[in-house]
Amino acid sequence: ELVRGITGIHELEEQLNRLLGIAEVKIIPGDSDDTPVVKEELGQACADQLKKILKAQNIIAVTGGTTMACAAEMMTREIGKGKQILFVPARGGVGDDVKNQANSICAKMAEQTGGSHRALYIPDQVSEKVRESLLQDPNISEVLNLIQSANIVLHGIGDAIKMATRRNTNDADMDKLLKEQAVGEAFGYYFNIEGEVVHKVSTVGLQLADLHRARHAVAVAGGKSKAKAIQSYMKSAPPNTVFITDEGAAKELFKAL
């Protein structure tokens, strides 16, 4: 049996959907922690979902990460055919590896689908004064407006400490995350297991409220090691969320709920 009392992936999808109280759960067989091709399949499922929800005109906010990078690889011209699509990075952070940054992923998604994209370059950790002056820049404020009017948000979910390490988080913030027992991360917000926001990267861009306003949110995260992170994020996920995951994460998550 898959997990106690549940015999098929489809049943697990339905159970998780009910327990999480979101729009839909889609589970890919396998575990992306052990099998890299499963992450590509998560990316493919994200691309398929996007195709389903696209309207004639779209503003799509996208986060960074290796999972979103896989989703970009899997997108095709077919998805964007006859549609207007503009990709914008959900947040301005540039703390990650270039290939995993939201800006690069937006550029890739635009290239793959024949859509367009805008970039937003604002370092994660700038002083309040610098940020204020960056916000005065007309180009930056235009992109911020686009982000706020996104009808679709595509995002990953990460393990809090892994993400904080990858972003070269300073010691003070790292101490805070450990002390507050952060377990999950999504678009620069860090959550404890209760789903409370315990820290937020100070960069500009998508806010949780914007996510709730967007017509569709597609969360993509797999691997058994992400189960706790997913659990923490899903406590406050908007009900319009479609969650794409793999069997490894789904089974572990189900046990914890």
* Residue ranges that bind ligand G3H, judged by CB under 6 A: 63-67, 156-158, 163, 185-186
Cα 190 to chain center, whole Å?
12
Question: Whose Cβ is closer to ligand G3H: residue 7's or residue 165's?
Answer: 165
**β 116-117/152-156 pair status:** unpaired
Question: Whose Cβ is closer to ligand G3H: residue 117's or residue 233's?
Answer: 233
List the structure tokens of 161.
């400490």
Question: Whose Cβ is closer to ligand G3H: residue 81's or residue 162's?
Answer: 162
Closest separation between CB of residue 163 and ligand G3H, Å?
6
Q: Among all residues, whose Cβ is closest to ligand G3H?
A: 65
Question: What is the rounded CA–CA span in Å between residue 193 and residue 179?
Answer: 13
Closest separation between CB of residue 53 and ligand G3H, Å?
20
Q: DSSP characters for 52-85?
A: HH--SEEEEEE--SHHHHHHHHH--HHHHTT-EE
Question: What is the rounded CA–CA span in Å between residue 10 and residue 7?
Answer: 9
Question: Whose Cβ is closer to ligand G3H: residue 106's or residue 157's?
Answer: 157
Question: Whose Cβ is closer to ligand G3H: residue 134's or residue 187's?
Answer: 187
Closest separation between CB of residue 35 and ligand G3H, Å?
15
Question: What is the rounded CA–CA span in Å between residue 102 and residue 120?
Answer: 9
Please state, as a whole number, how many other Cβ atoms lie within 10 Å of the Cβ of residue 161: 17
Closest separation between CB of residue 67 and ligand G3H, Å?
3
The DSSP letter of residue 22 is S
The DSSP letter of residue 24 is E
Closest separation between CB of residue 132 and ligand G3H, Å?
26
Please state, as a whole number, how many other Cβ atoms lie within 10 Å of the Cβ of residue 75: 26
Question: Whose Cβ is closer to ligand G3H: residue 7's or residue 181's?
Answer: 181
Closest separation between CB of residue 64 and ligand G3H, Å?
5
